[in-house]
Amino acid sequence: MAKVLMIHPDKCTGCHNCELACSFEHEGQFRPAASRVQAYTWEREGMTVPMMCQQCDDAACVKVCPTGAMHRSATRANLVDWNEQVCIRCKMCTVACPFGNARYDAASSSIFKCDTCQGAPECVTFCPSGALEFVDDEQQVRSRKKAYAAKFREAFQEVS
Amino acid sequence: MFGWTGTILRVDLTKGTITREATDPKLARDYLGARGLGGHILRSEVDPKTDSLGPDNKLVFAPGPFTGTFAPSAGRFNVVTKGPLNGVLAASNSGGSFGPELKYAGYDALIIEGKAAKPVYLWIKDDQIEIRDAAAIWGHNTLDTTDLVRAETDEDAKVSCIGPAGEHQALLACIMNEMHRAAGRTGVGAVMGSKNLKAIAVSGSGAVKVADPERFKAAVMKARKLIQAHPVGGAGLKAYGTDVLVNILNQVGALPTRNYQDGYFPTADKTGGESLAAKQLVRPKGCFSCIISCGRVTKVDNPAYAGYGEGPEYESAWGFGSDCGIDDLDAITKANFLCNEYGIDTISLGSTIACAMELFERGFITAKDTDGVQLTFGNTAAMVEMTRKACTSEGFGAKLAQGSYRLAEGYGHPELSMTCKKQEMPAYDPRGVQGIGLNYATNNRGGDHVRGYTIAIEVLQNGAVMDPHVTEGKAGLDITFQNLTGALDSSGACLFSTFGIGGAELAEMLSALTGVEYTLDEFMLIGERIWNQEKLWNLKVGYTKADDTLPVRLLKDPIKTGPSKGEVNHLDQMLPEYYKMRGWDEDGVPTKAKLKELAL
């Protein structure tokens, strides 16, 4: 059983601690531009949605990579990994990813995508609201499904 | 530098020049940032007698060393200027994403000076700075302004701006950022308006560096745990927002009611955080780097007051609520939305409308003065209409937008203005809570709660318990809170983080971040230095011991009903001790020895 990152935008409070934790983990400083997770806020609605690599099984970034730098990890399940040494910075992965979750950073000449902090994602540790979870892949939607099941329970309790 | 970026940006709107200077490491160490460093800049460069709304006043946007890091709930910045409402060394504190972005763009402070010949906005993209024409944006509300500026700059730029209230130089005008976060008090928005500066957009791609990453992370994790385990910091504020205080203050009999004519409002519960959560709450919201999330995204369905936005927080719910004798939360929230959209301070405006209601009920003004509106306590529609008029400076609203001091004095009854040093007092009745009265009277910003929040001990029993009705020990309590907050505000932290952590935790995080070692005592000394710096400014403005007082009503007229019935504030029992403990003389002037001790 492997773990996956689960996003719950409905719980997000828009604090951007995920971005801060991510950039700090990867660079030892606070540079949200270097974060592998980006939380986009719609201020009129007061709504924020964190976005990060979904570690696709059939990943477009892996398919287009001409050097094998972007590859499925052999050692860690549910991880699309990036090999800095092999990468030629052609940026095809950033074009291919349908979600925009692979980015090129000129300041560090790197491809930024979530590496789950090698299995202990800091964004999850620092998220204060439970909007980000790192859960067993078989249970990834359990909390969301249960939350909606609870609404049914309430509705039925009212009529019975 | 670590924590600090090492650069201060200066923009002269008269000359159209842009310059950069190095942050002085000694000043950074001794004044931290935000309120402290910004205050030092103002004190060094602006004459306290300067016209607040003239070109010689300056407007400083300053984040603190924590701002832009994941120190918990510490992403704040201050707007520092000579405040036009009362001339004090104003530092108006705001959360939101603007302060952190300024750091990422590379700046410890942004100093705006002079006055543009026509409306402009400022676009800061790292080291590329442009002063741009704002003719097409002038006149728009804060939400539309933010969108319009983004359309011309970057869709993700962080925008601070004024609304029409600031353009009109209303003395209650605030500066909004992230659409709903306010640098609300002392009229800082009017200064921005006086400079013809409509907005500032920032986009930063740089970093805030950390001296000792491992130690900083450990200190942050410890602080987070303490806040998250605290019943207020970790649970209460997220569930109910600051508006949870309505019922708490009403239960101790210190919820100012009908312009402070009483301290108890029987139907207050309808306006409290619990009612808000049940009726209007869409979701809680946190400021940048916040783990508390007291912000409220709210929606009003009631067609009379329909709207969508953020708030109200406690002070707003009180100002438009019990202080106006109103218990209709939909109307209160609508008034709050209007204030955010037009950029005006909810605390001062609520209190000013309450003052106008009392003037009206006592016959000192009539419907002829109020554009035909029956401005009586409890008249919900009239309250919302007056809020709208103040927002647009229309008719009687133009008078309201200048605050209750000028309003009441103009009609010959200054005693009905519930202000200290011309600024409206917030939502804690000093007759029911003695220590907060001493804080209002001595506060160097005038009527203000956040710089000496004794309520935390006197009412909320955060870490210690003190009877709100006694005066004993309150001078020391006030001083401790005022000093702590001076340093805390200047670090970039939020006051609410003190529901869990204190000076020791802040000093440890600050040491690890900046590489400058701060003990708890040194941290508190910085706060004391900043407090005295602001006091020295006020003395030069002309404030004296006679101004360190409360509205006479609070000293003479007892609370009529509720748990604090019969109480007045006993300021005279606390003030001499306060001066003495501060190391000030009998007239409230810092002694030479004290100034030397503080290196002032």
For B417, the token pair is 């203005």
Instruction: Tell me what pLDDT residue A144 has.
Output: 80
Same domain, B467 and B578: yes
Where among B400, B424, B448 does a domain terminate?
B424
B contacts of A29 (beta carbons < 8 Å)? 207-210, 213
The partner residue sitting opposite A15, judged by closest CB among B179, B228, B291, is B291
| B7 neighbors B23 (Cβ within 8 angstroms) | yes
Nearest to B158 by CA among B201, B198, B205, B110: B201
Which of B285, B287, B290, B499 to mutate to test binding with chain A, by most A CBs within 10 Å of its CB?
A: B285
B293–A31 CB contact, under 8 Å: no
Question: Tokens 């001091």 sit at which residue?
Answer: B405
Q: What is the CATH number of the domain that holds B353?
A: 1.10.569.10
Establish if A57 touches chain B: CB-CB under 8 angstroms: no
Q: Report the distance separating Cα A132 and Cα A38, nearest Å.
A: 12
Q: Hey, is the C-beta of A10 within 8 angstroms of any chain B C-beta?
A: yes
Q: Are B179 and A43 in contact (CB under 8 A)?
A: yes
Q: How far apart are CA A34 and CA A39, in angstroms?
A: 13
Chain A residues whose beta carbon lies within 8 Å of the beta carbon of residue B295 = 13, 46
Domain annotation covers residue B272: yes
Query: Are B287 and B493 within 8 A, CB to CB?
Result: no
B38 lies in some domain: yes
Residue of A nearest to B308 (CA): A45
Give the nearest partner residue to B289 out of A17, A33, A47, using CB atoms: A17
B chain contacts of residue A32, beta-carbon cutoff 8 Å: 104
- Residues in A closer than 8 angstroms to B241, CB to CB, are none
In angstroms, the CA B556 to CA B201 distance is 49
Tell me if residue B104 falls in helix, strand or coil: helix
Tokens 């997000």, residue located = A12
Reading the block at residue A65, the tokens are 């990579």
- Which stretches of B61-141 are DSSP H helices? 98-105
CA B308/CA B311 separation, integer angstroms: 10
Listing from the earlier edge strand, what are the strands of the sheet with B77-82?
Answer: B17-22, B7-12, B109-113, B59-63, B77-82, B89-94
Dig out the tokens for B372 from the structure.
Answer: 């035909």
Beta strands in B252-354 (DSSP E): 281-285, 295-300, 307-310
B156 vs A contacts (CB less than 8 Å) = 40
Residues 6+ apart with CB under 8 A from B116: B13, B14, B131, B195, B196, B197
Q: What is the pLDDT along chain B (600 residues), one digit of tens a residue?
A: 999 999 999 999 999 999 999 999 999 999 999 999 999 999 999 999 999 999 999 999 999 999 999 999 999 999 999 999 999 999 999 999 999 999 999 999 999 999 999 999 999 999 999 999 999 999 999 999 999 999 999 999 999 999 999 999 999 999 999 999 999 999 999 999 999 999 999 999 999 999 999 999 999 999 999 999 999 999 999 999 999 999 999 999 999 999 999 999 999 999 999 999 999 999 999 999 999 999 999 999 999 999 999 999 999 999 999 999 999 999 999 999 999 999 999 999 999 999 999 999 999 999 999 999 999 999 999 999 999 999 999 999 999 999 999 999 999 999 999 999 999 999 999 999 999 999 999 999 999 999 999 999 999 999 899 999 999 999 999 999 999 999 999 999 999 999 999 999 999 999 999 999 999 999 999 999 999 999 999 999 999 999 999 999 999 999 999 999 999 999 999 999 999 999 999 999 999 999 999 999
Strands A47-51 and B419-420: unpaired
Predicted local confidence at residue A1, as pLDDT? 66
Q: What is the DSSP string of A10-74?
A: GG--S--HHHHHHHHHHHSSB-GGG-SSEEEEETTTTEEEEE-----TT-HHHHH-SSS-EEE-S
Residue whose C-alpha is closest to residue B313's, from B385, B227, B244: B244
- Do B482 and B372 fall into the same domain? no
Domain co-membership, B504 together with B396: no
Chain B residues near residue A44 by CB distance under 8 angstroms: 143, 179, 308
Higher pLDDT, A142 or B471: B471
Residues B260 and B385 placed together within one structural domain of the fold: yes
Would residue B279 count as lying in a domain? yes
What is the token pair recorded at B71?
A: 């120190």
Amino acid at B108: D
Instruction: List the structure tokens of B129.
Output: 């700075």
B180–A43: do the CB atoms touch at under 8 Å? yes
| A13 interaction partners in chain B (CB closer than 8 Å) | 283-286, 290, 293, 295
**How many contacts does A have with B, using Cβ atoms within 8 A?**
93
Query: Burial, A154: exposed, middle or buried (Cβ in 10 Å; 0-12, 13-18, 19+)?
Result: exposed
- Rounded CA separation B483/B507 (Å): 14
Specify the pairing of strand B120-125 against strand B197-203. Answer: parallel
Rounded to the nearest 5°, which phi and psi values hold at B168?
Answer: -80, 0
Where do the domains of chain A lie, and which CATH numbers do they carry?
Answer: 1-52+116-160 (3.30.70.20), 54-113 (3.30.70.20)
Between the alpha carbon of residue B463 and those of residues B223, B466, B498, B500, B523, the distances in Å are 15, 10, 10, 9, 19
Q: What is the pTM of this model?
A: 0.97
Of A13, A32, A44, the CB nearest to B286: A13
User: How many angstroms away from the CA of B309 is the closest CA of chain A?
Assistant: 7
A45 contact residues in B (CB cutoff 8 A): 297, 308
Cβ of A105 under 8 Å from any chain B Cβ? no
From residue A157, alpha-carbon distances to A142, A149, B161, B279 in Å are: 22, 12, 49, 21
Clarify whether residues B273 and B197 are in a common domain: no
What's the pLDDT at B68?
A: 98
The confidence band for A155, taking pLDDT boundaries of 50, 70 and 90, is: confident
Say how far apart CA A110 and CA A113 lie, in whole Å: 9
Tokens matching residue A81? 């990994």
Spatial distance between the Cα atoms of B479 and B490, rounded to a whole number of angstroms:
17
Say which amino acid occupies B231: P
CATH label of the domain that carries residue B590: 1.10.599.10
Distance from CA of A57 to the nearest CA of B (A): 31
Q: Are residues B399 and B483 in the same domain?
A: no
Asked if A15 lies within 8 A of B310 by C-beta distance, the reply is no
Interface test with B, best of A10, A11, A15 (most B CBs within 10 A): A15
User: Does A14 contact B180 at a Cβ distance shorter than 8 Å?
Assistant: no
Record the tokens describing residue A82, joined without a space: 């990036």
Distance CA(B408)–CA(B596), nearest Å, equals 41
| Contact criterion met (CB below 8 Å) for B571 and B471 | no
Does the pLDDT of residue A159 top 70, yes or no?
Answer: no
* Domain residue limits at B307: 241-424
* B401 occurs within a structural domain: yes
Which residues of chain B approach chain A closer than 8 Å at the C-beta?
A: 68-70, 97, 104, 143, 146, 156, 178-180, 204-210, 213, 217, 224, 228, 282-293, 295, 297, 308-310
The reply to whether B47 and B183 lie within a common domain is: yes
**B377, B396, B424 — which closes off a domain?**
B424
Cα angle value B251/B252/B257 (rounded, 5°): 80
B296 Cα to chain A: minimum distance (Å): 9
Contact yes or no for B34/B491 (Cβ under 8 A): yes
Instruction: Select from B68, B143, B297 the Cβ nearest to the Cβ of A30.
Output: B68
Interface contact flag, B206 A31, Cβ < 8 Å: yes
Cα distance from B402 to chain A (closest Cα, Å)? 28
Pairing mode of beta strands B7-12, B109-113: parallel
Per the listing, tokens 């939380």 go with: A39
**What b/e string do you get for A25-49 counting C-beta neighbours within 10 Å, with b at 16 or more?**
bbbbbbbbbbbbbbbebebeebbbb
Q: State whether B261 and B382 are in the same domain.
A: yes
Residues B21 and B159 in one domain: yes
Query: Which secondary-structure segment (H or E) carries B93?
Result: strand B89-94
Predicted ipTM beyond 0.90: yes
Q: Are residues B164 and B263 in the same domain?
A: no
Whether B36 is in a domain gets the answer: yes
Q: Alpha carbon B32 to chain centroid distance?
A: 19
Q: Is the residue at B235 inside a domain?
A: no
* Number of other residues whose CB lies within 10 A of the CB of residue B384: 22
**In CATH, what number is assigned to the domain containing residue B65?**
3.60.9.10
- B146–A126: do the CB atoms touch at under 8 Å? no
A-chain residues near B205 (CB < 8 A): 31, 33, 107
A20 touches chain B (CB under 8 A): yes
What residues contact B245, with CB distance under 8 A and at least 6 apart? B272, B273, B314, B427
Domain count, chain B: 3
With H, G, I as helix, E, B as strand and everything else as coil, classify residue B152.
helix
**How far apart are the CA of B542 and the nearest CA of chain A, in angstroms?**
42
B173 and B199, same domain (yes or no): yes
**Cβ-proximal residues to A135 (8 Å cutoff; 6+ apart), any chain:** A3, A4, A6, A142, A143
Which residues, 6 or more positions from A78, have their beta carbon under 8 angstroms from its beta carbon?
A2, A3, A4, A55, A116, A137
User: Are A30 and B284 an interchain contact pair (Cβ–Cβ within 8 Å)?
Assistant: no
Report helix angle B474-491 to B503-514, nearest 10.
20
Percent of chain A whose pLDDT exceeds 70: 98
B208 within domain boundaries: no
Tokens 């907050």, residue located: B485
Is B516 inside a domain boundary?
yes
User: Do B449 and B542 fall within a single domain?
Assistant: yes
Neighbours of B112 (CB within 10 A): 24
Q: Is the pLDDT of residue A160 over 70?
A: no
Mean pLDDT of chain A: 93
